[in-house]
Structure 1
Amino acid sequence: MSLLQVRDLSKAFGGVRAVDGIHFDLHEGELLAMIGPNGAGKSTTFNMVGGQLRASGGSIQLQGRELVGAKPRQICHLGVGRTFQIAATFASLTVLENTQMALLSHHKRLYHWWRPVRDQYREQALALLEQVGMAAHAERPCSELAYGDVKRVELAMALANDPRLLLMDEPTAGMGPQERNELMALTKRLVVERRMAVLFTEHSMDVVFAHADRMLVLARGRLIAEGDAHSIRNHPQVQQVYFGSGKTFERPPQEPQP
């Protein structure tokens, strides 16, 4: 059985159908990319799965539990974590304190102010930071970190919820090529080790083709292709949507020169 099942998912804003009958499955241990040009419906679909937007029609089920109509916090407590395009950390807090705060939220202990935060869930927070390679920076304020390291801290915070499904919105935005590939290789390792699944949106095709197990391609609110790297590279409609006639995905876009 699929971990996540999306069926006939739709979203209309007035007379505009931003998402029109999308369907897909996501399995445990899978890294699934959702790609498409601007305006394809990626963010709308992503936000419906996370509960930030309510679907106009269709179904989203997490292991048989319907998510349509549930609030983001309810979805979080069902085992869905999320990272954002702009990393969401507290810059003035240390790496360790940020992770402890995420654990306090997961355990619904945020309002127990009479107990010092530094004493709560410290070992669990350090274990999460070890998993993402940030334990050595535990006592540093997030404001001092390179952006790639901030993204790792955000990943540790998302893992504090012990998610079965992790939603990653543009996880490598603002990162250089090496940082991008290191973060996604880490994510893939965690998917396997923790037996969870990841749905992510991404504009960097080098990241998508190097790390995704499978891809969904959206255009104008509809799913136009689904498959592995080879099938997507050679899909005529995908080539047309991205590049027009005569071009392919054989080479990922080059990094802009400084």
Structure 2
Amino acid sequence: MSLLQVRNLKKSYGGVAAVADVSFDLPAGQLLALLGPNGAGKTTCFNMVNGQLRPDSGSILFDGHELVNMAPRNIWRLGVGRTFQIAETFGSMTVVENVQMALLSREKKIFHLWRPAASHYRDEAMDLLSQVGMEAQAARPCSVLAYGDVKRVELAIALANRPKLLLMDEPTAGMAPQERNALMALTKKLVVERNIAVLFTEHSMDVVFAYADRMIVLARGKLIAEGDGETIRNHPKVKEVYFGSGSTFTRKKKEAV
């Protein structure tokens, strides 16, 4: 059984279907890219999975738990991590303190600090920073980091909850090509090592084809295609609806190789 099972998900605004009867599965240890042109419904679908939006109908089953109508905080506690299109860290705090705060939250100790926060879970925080290549910058404030490094810290923060599922919203937005590939290669490595499932949205086709195991494509709220890179690249509806004649798609696919 897949770790994440989405069935017949629907969401409408003023009679307009943003997501119409979308279903898909995501097993552990796999990166699944959620794609679509502007207005396709991918952001709405993504936000329903993470609990920010409530679907009109349908089911989102994660590890045996129904997520529909569950608060985002409770979804997080079940083992669903999240990164954002614009990285979210505390700029005034050091790198290691940001990760320590995530660890404190995991243990429900944010409001029960009987000793300075800097003394809590430091070893575990440093281990997480080592995994994302940020151990050497642990003492630096997040406000002075390069954007690519902030994204790595955000990934460490997401991993602090020991997630089984990681939701990544435009993980490489605002990054240079080299930074994009480095972050996604790191994510792929961690997915394999930790057997994490990843659902991510992404506009950079080079990243999608280089690192996604599978892709699902939405258009006008409906799922029009699902499969590996070769299947999606040659799918007639994808060429017609998402990539027009297909020439842009083919060019981006070549760039990714």
Task: Calculate the TM-score normalised by the size of structure 2.
Answer: 0.97
Report the AA paired with residue 78 of structure 2.
L
**How far apart, CA to CA, are the structure 2 residues paired with 1:203 and 1:242?**
12
Aligned to 1:36: 36
The 5 Å alignment of 1:1-258 reads: 1-245=1-245, 247=247, 249-252=249-252
**How far apart, CA to CA, are the structure 2 residues paired with 1:253 and 1:175?**
19
Shift of 1:14: 2.2
After superposition, the C-alpha distances for 1:174-230 in whole angstroms (9 at most, x for unaligned) are 000000011000000000101110000000000000100000101010100000000
Report the AA paired with residue 162 of structure 1.
R
Shift of 1:63: 1.8
Whether the 8 Å contact between 1:5 and 1:25 is mirrored in structure 2 is yes
**How far apart, CA to CA, are the structure 1 residues paired with 2:9 and 2:64?**
16
Report the AA paired with residue 114 of structure 2.
W
Task: Calculate the TM-score normalised by the size of structure 1.
Answer: 0.96
Whether the 8 Å contact between 1:79 and 1:161 is mirrored in structure 2 is yes
Aligned to 1:250, the other structure's residue is in SS state helix
Aligned structure 1 segments of 4 or more residues deviating by more than 6 angstroms: none
Whether the 8 Å contact between 2:6 and 2:25 is mirrored in structure 1 is yes
**How far apart, CA to CA, are the structure 2 residues paired with 1:176 and 1:209?**
17
Structure 2 residues not aligned, in runs of 5+:
none
**How far apart, CA to CA, are the structure 2 residues paired with 1:2 and 1:246?**
32
Shift of 1:247: 2.3
Whether the 8 Å contact between 1:234 and 1:248 is mirrored in structure 2 is no
Whether the 8 Å contact between 2:209 and 2:253 is mirrored in structure 1 is no
**How far apart, CA to CA, are the structure 1 residues paired with 2:188 and 2:138?**
23
Instruction: Report percent identity of matched pairs.
Output: 70
Whether the 8 Å contact between 1:239 and 1:248 is mirrored in structure 2 is no
**How far apart, CA to CA, are the structure 2 residues paired with 1:114 and 1:200?**
38
Structure 1 residues not aligned, in runs of 5+:
none
Coordinate RMSD, CA, aligned: 1.3
**How far apart, CA to CA, are the structure 1 residues paired with 2:254 and 2:230?**
20
Aligned to 2:39, the other structure's residue is in SS state coil
Whether the 8 Å contact between 1:233 and 1:248 is mirrored in structure 2 is no
Aligned to 1:74, the other structure's residue is in SS state helix
Shift of 1:245: 2.6
**How far apart, CA to CA, are the structure 2 residues paired with 1:28 and 1:214?**
13
**How far apart, CA to CA, are the structure 2 residues paired with 1:248 and 1:239?**
9
Task: State how many pairs are aligned.
Answer: 255
Shift of 1:249: 2.4
Aligned to 1:249, the other structure's residue is in SS state helix
